[in-house]
Amino acid sequence: MSTVANIWRNLPLKAKVGAVLFGIFLLTAIIGPELAPYDPSFQNPAPNLLMAHPSAQHWLGTTQVGQDVFSQLLDGIRQTIVLALLVGIIATALSVIVGVTSAFLGGLWDEFLSLLSNVFLVIPALPLLILLLGYLSGRGQWPTIIVLSVLGWPWGARVIRAQTLTIRNRDFVAAARESGEKSWRIIAFDIIPNEVSLIAASFVNTVLYAIATSVALAFVGLADLNSWSLGTILYWAESQQALQLGAWWWFVPPGLAVALIGTSLVLLNSGIDELGNPRLRASRGMERVAGHRVWATDPTPVLSQLSSSRTRVAAFLHSFSRGSLLDETPAGGELR
């Protein structure tokens, strides 16, 4: 438990904010639909509930046909997040498999797999998506998931291939091969663990891409419009002229949800980056020592020269920061 707490404490602030924000949406995706007050598709015929403002019964108002927007939103978050995570997992798995094998095997395999990912890279994604989903629409989310996965892997694959190429030639891989380890074992235990931060960043990026693309596709109607995702809510809001009628409660919440999920993923991504590459953190050039800012180019600080000039308000605010942990560390280090 304390190790988990320690890891959390050492995370960069960006990663903390991103993790909390994404955690909230993940929780909503897991339990939200069970808590939904209404069936999102139920059309309440009562005339005063058509396009009604937010109220105690309907927290986010109703649509043109009397459906509860809040229930739709909860359902939509689940659909969108499930889709994005599935696309992320499939596409990242594909990119790891292709990237690592092509770099590790080299030769003809490398030529072929690189050619394949280059071909997928130059395929114009959006027109292809529109074309494919035009044929496949109306069969739930799976067509979108498959098409997005198939088009989402080459970026990751190229990056991972490049990284594998540099790792493959390091001495510890040669040592592993010399000691008679099998290729799959070298890949799984020597190479991939060295790429975890890269793979995680690639996963988060792919999830982000899946959310943005799937919402955009649903918005133009290329999705299963009978189910509720953030994109289809926006599609119906647009097609029923919510914007012109001033029904902000209909299109602002799903739009905001997309924006916030995207923000949380970007924050998570740069957080992972800093975690896997501590030099990024050091490159900020400034560290707090004994509560004072010290730049890397400054002379080594001397404790007796550092005056404790912090005001009470500043000291109170400072007590929230990670740096305050360092101040209170007793000499000899009781803090573990």
Partner 1 sequence: MSPILDISDLSVVYRTPGGDVRAVEQVNLTLSAGEVVGLCGESGSGKSTLAYGATRLLRPPALVTSGSVLYSGRRITSGGDPVDLLAMDHRELRATRWREIAIVFQSAMNALNPVLRVQDQLLDAVRAHLRMPRNEARDKAATLLDLVGIPRNRLRAYPHELSGGMRQRVMIAMALAADPEVVIMDEPTTALDVVVQRDILAQIVELKETLGFAIMFITHDLSLLLELADKIAVMYAGRLLETGAAQDFMRAPAHPYTRGLLNSFPSLHGSRRELTGIPGSPPDLRDPPPGCPFVPRCGYAVPACTAVDMTLEPVAGANGLVAAGAVPGGPAGHLTACPIVTPEVSQEGVLS
| Interacting residues toward partner 1 by CB under 8 A | 6, 9-10, 287-290, 294-296, 298-305, 325-326, 329-336
Beta strand extents in 59-200 (DSSP E only): none
State the Cα–Cα distance between residues 265 and 15, nearest whole angstrom. 9
For partner 1, give the closer residue by CB, 243 or 335.
335
Q: How far is the CB of 307 from partner 1 (least distance, A)?
A: 13
**Cβ nearer to partner 1, comparing 119 with 286:** 286
Q: Is residue 240 a contact partner of residue 56, using CB atoms and an 8 Å limit? A: no
The span from the CA of 93 to the CA of 199, in Å, is 9
Q: Is residue 275 a contact partner of residue 11, using CB atoms and an 8 Å limit?
A: yes
Q: How far is the CB of 288 from partner 1 (least distance, A)?
A: 8
Q: How far is the CB of 145 from partner 1 (least distance, A)?
A: 42
Select 226 or 297, whichever has its Cβ closest to partner 1.
Answer: 297
- Both structure tokens of 51: 């396009």
CB of 325 to partner 1, least distance (A): 6
Least spacing, CB of residue 37 vs partner 1, in Å: 46
φ and ψ of 127, to 5 deg: -60, -40
CB of 160 to partner 1, least distance (A): 29
Distances from the Cα of 168 to the Cα of 103, 146, 177, 182, 244, angstroms: 8, 31, 10, 14, 59
Report how far apart, in Å, the C-alpha atoms of 330 and of each of 10, 182, 188, 315, 327 are: 18, 49, 42, 18, 8
Of 183 and 329, nearer to partner 1 (C-beta) is: 329
For partner 1, give the closer residue by CB, 243 or 286: 286
* Concatenated DSSP letters of 35-95: H-SS-TT-----GGGTTPPP-SSSTT-B-TTS-BHHHHHHHHHHHHHHHHHHHHHHHHHHH
Q: What are the residues whose beta carbons fall under 8 Å from the beta carbon of 229, sequence distance 6 or more?
A: 76, 79, 80, 83, 141, 214, 215, 218, 223
Kindly state the smallest distance separating residue 292's Cβ from partner 1, in Å. 9
Instruction: Return the number of the residue (10 or 319) whose C-beta is nearest partner 1.
Output: 10
Token pair belonging to 160: 């991972």
Closer residue to partner 1, CB minimum distance, 47 or 330: 330
- Residue 159 near residue 186, CB atoms below 8 Å: no
Residue closer to partner 1 by CB (options 143, 291) is 291
CB of 293 to partner 1, least distance (A): 9
